[in-house]
Amino acid sequence: MGMTENLLSTTQWLITLVLFLLILVRAVRTIDWQAVRRDNTLQHTFFGAAVVLGFLWQLRAGLSPGLSIHVFGITVITLMLGWALAVLAGLLALIITVITGREPLLMFAANGLITVMIPALVSHGIMLWERHKNFKNFFAYIFVCGFFGAGIAVAAAGIVMCLLLWSSGVYDLSELVHEYLRYLPLFMIPEGFANGAFVTGLMVFHPDRLTTLDQRRYR
């Protein structure tokens, strides 16, 4: 989302840092590192996803600090790798944006929390909900987890970002509504389409790359 320096108070910066570290530790402990070391395909997917996201996030729009717009792409990475590896891939991509000067190092935790962790966790939660409902048609995975999951994930990240900016006093509510929130449904459409289209392609040609897909459930 493009958080820059002086947008958050010291208290907010510390809170986002603590949440960032807690989720990061949980992600690292969740990953089966032995399986990752044995699976060369998974390794290539992980590093490839990080590089693609890192360059994709160079493309963004927005006039006001902290209110930039760009395609996240975290949902499809979550469906491919699982939420924990998706978080690490997203953070590697964020490091690329820091190196290229698109993001400040000081706000790495805040940007990581909003741009990577929240979308990954929301996408993971939607995937678990779809799995719990035990849909039998494979289109449920494509539309619920891919299209709608991506749109909801980016909406959740945008709302959290706006709450942080509003509570810090940088923007009042009317400014956030005028400059960002009223356009949020429009942001959800391309995000959902981009992620959903990629999930569809993988499901048709390389379903094995979607580690969260249980093909036995679908007819």
Question: What integer best gives the mean pLDDT of the chain?
Answer: 88
pTM for the whole thing? 0.92
Give the pLDDT score at 1. 59
Give the pLDDT score at 71. 77
pLDDT digits (tens, 9 = 90+) for 133-168: 888 888 889 999 999 999 999 999 999 988 988 988
Supply the angle between the helices 149-168 and 118-133 in degrees, to the nearest 10.
140
Sign for the CA dihedral angle at 208, 54, 104, 164 comes to negative
Q: Using CB atoms within 10 Å of the CB of residue 79, give its burial: 0 to 12 exposed, 13 to 18 middle, 19+ buried.
A: buried
CB 86 within 8 A of CB 125: no
* 82 φ/ψ angles, rounded to the nearest 5 degrees: 90, 155
* Residue 137, C-beta contacts closer than 8 angstroms, at least 6 positions apart: 218, 219
What does the block give as tokens for 29? 């402990």
What's the Cα-to-Cα distance from 103 to each of 93, 155, 166, rounded to whole Å? 11, 21, 21
Which residue ranges of the chain lie beneath pLDDT 50? Answer: none
Give the pLDDT score at 171. 82
Give the pLDDT score at 63. 58
CATH architecture group of domain 10-217 = Orthogonal Bundle (1.10)
* Residue 44, C-beta contacts closer than 8 angstroms, at least 6 positions apart: none
